[in-house]
Each structure stands twice: as C-alpha cells, then as structure tokens.
Structure 1
Amino acid sequence: MAMAMGMSGRRGGPTAEINMTPMTDVVMVLLIIFMVVQQSLQRGLIVQVPPPEPPAIDSRVPDALVLQVSAGGKYALNHQPLNGARLREELAAILAPRPRKVLFVAAEGPLTYGEIVAAVDAGRDAGADVIGLSPH
C-alpha cells in the first residue's frame, strides 16, 4: 500500500496529495443515477391533433354521431332526446352495431367542466373508441 505522501519543500515535511479516483467513481455513479431517473420521469400523453381546418360535423350525416349536452343534464343524439339516467345504455345500444365507434360531444350553452366530462365518460363506457369535442 503506497502512501500519497512525499518529502518536499525546504523543511522536508510530509505533503498530502488528494486521491481523485474515489471522487471520480462517485461522480460517475451519480451521473448514471440521474440518467436512469430522467428516463423514468418522462411521461407522455397520446393526443390526436386535428387538421388545421377541421371538417364540419353535420349531424344529418348518418355516420356521424353527435351527442349534444345541455345545461341541467339534458342530452340529445343527433337532435333526438336521450334519457339522462340511461345515457350509457342508450349510447351502447346505438354504438354496438356500428363498425366505426366514433362519437362527437357538442356543448350547447354554458356548461361546467364536470358536465362535459360526464358526457365523455358515458360515451367511453358505452363503447366509443374515438370521442371528439365539437365546437358547436
């Protein structure tokens, strides 16, 4: 075992030298830990971005299902009233035979965030694969 002391100077006393190897090891371990932690902190959200000019949603087209949500828990599908208490069941019956299970949710009037989320959740529970929010 070699000591990091040498004899130098006019008086001939011992001088201490810092051993850099342990410090380099600690820095490398910290670098690896930070790299691993950084990878686990990255979270993503899958989002479908609409085209620059969104196509007009026409509720008269039989393929498009537009769920209109009004204040007070009133719902209509393509202007046909739905029972709010049985919304999930009625939507499931309508979506079941369709090959493309796409539903658009349109808010009519001032609504709370919770009312829109309830309509989106009902559509998701009914079996809609894609749910879009319509501006009208």
Structure 2
Amino acid sequence: MAMGIGGRKGGGISEINMTPMIDVLLVLLIIFMVVQQGLQRGLGVMVPPPRDVETVIPPAENLVLEVEPGGRYLLNRQPIPAGRLEESLARVFAERQRKVLFVKGAESIAYGDVVSAVDASRAAGVQVVGLVPLQAAR
C-alpha cells in the first residue's frame, strides 16, 4: 500500500494503491484456470448418429437383456433368476466369439437396476454393452 506525502495543505493522502491488488487477482485467476483443467474428469462414450427407430432395434442374432420391475431379467425373452444373472450370462457368453449385449430397461424401473445389470454383464465377460433407447423399446 503506497501513501503519498504532502499535498496542498501538507497532510498525508490515504489512497489505496490498486496495482498490487490487481496483480494478485490476476495471478490467482491464472492459478485457478490451470487447476481447473486438471480437475476435469469424464467418461468416454461413443454415441451413434441418430437413425430411424426400426434400425435401432438389434438384429435377432444379438442378445438382448431386458430389465423389468421386481428384479426380473429376460435374455432374449427367456427368464433368468435375479440371483443367477452373472452366472447365466457367463455361461452364454463363454461359447460366443462376439461378446456384445444389448440392455433394455423398462420405463418404471430405477436407474440402479439397469446399472447393476450392466455390472453383472461386464463381470460375466461381456466386452461391449449397448443400451437400447426407449423409442426402440416400444
């Protein structure tokens, strides 16, 4: 803080020198900008281009896991017990070369139910998990 001596009447002038405060502000701004770049995290997602509803539904040779309310699972319309989902998927995908699974969730289920189905499929050896959008599920 600088202070001028003198003046017209011989007294001190008590004005704040703004230059050091602006310098500190600019240094802090640069530091926060650099730190912000390091804090950005994300999940890489491949999103296909939008297509017609008919082309979004997977072909018959692909496996579709339907997650329904009440902990019910259907693999290509065949029921799977909830406690044996990972085990059943591991058995099915052990014989397949292409380890791709499409997951279709009902509208009324919680997001966590779909996530647990995806986690079980990844633990069973599925390499690519695709989510079927609601428009294609209708």
Output the TM-score relative to the length of structure 1: 0.70
CA RMSD, 1 decimal: 3.0
SS across alignment from 2:74: strand
> Which whole-Å CA distance do the structure 1 matches of 2:70 and 2:3 have between them?
82
What aligned pairs does 1:114-133 form with structure 2 within 5 A after superposition?
Answer: 114-133=112-131
> Which whole-Å CA distance do the structure 2 matches of 1:88 and 1:97 have between them?
15
Match of 1:57 in 2: 58
> Which whole-Å CA distance do the structure 1 matches of 2:11 and 2:68 have between them?
90
- Given the alignment of the two structures, is residue 45 of structure 1 paired with residue 46 of structure 2, yes or no? no
User: Unpaired runs of 5+ in structure 1?
Assistant: none
SS across alignment from 1:57: coil
Structure 1 pair 33–86 and aligned structure 2 pair: CA distance change class (3 A):
same
Alpha carbons 1:91, 1:123 under 8 Å: kept: yes
Matched to 1:36, the amino acid is: V
Structure 1 pair 12–125 and aligned structure 2 pair: CA distance change class (3 A):
same
Structure 1 pair 13–68 and aligned structure 2 pair: CA distance change class (3 A):
closer
Structure 1 pair 8–124 and aligned structure 2 pair: CA distance change class (3 A):
same
Match of 2:75 in 1: 77
Q: CA deviation at 1:65?
A: 1.2
Task: Give aligned pairs, total.
Answer: 130
Q: CA deviation at 1:23?
A: 2.3
Structure 1 pair 46–13 and aligned structure 2 pair: CA distance change class (3 A):
same
Q: CA deviation at 1:90?
A: 1.4
Identify the structure with the greater helix proportion.
Answer: 2
> Which whole-Å CA distance do the structure 1 matches of 2:50 and 2:92 have between them?
30
Identify the structure with the greater strand proportion.
Answer: 1
Match of 2:27 in 1: 29
> Which whole-Å CA distance do the structure 2 matches of 1:88 and 1:114 have between them?
16
Identity percentage of aligned residues:
53
Q: CA deviation at 1:56?
A: 2.5
> Which whole-Å CA distance do the structure 2 matches of 1:16 and 1:114 have between them?
63
> Which whole-Å CA distance do the structure 2 matches of 1:76 and 1:113 have between them?
17
User: Unpaired runs of 5+ in structure 2?
Assistant: none
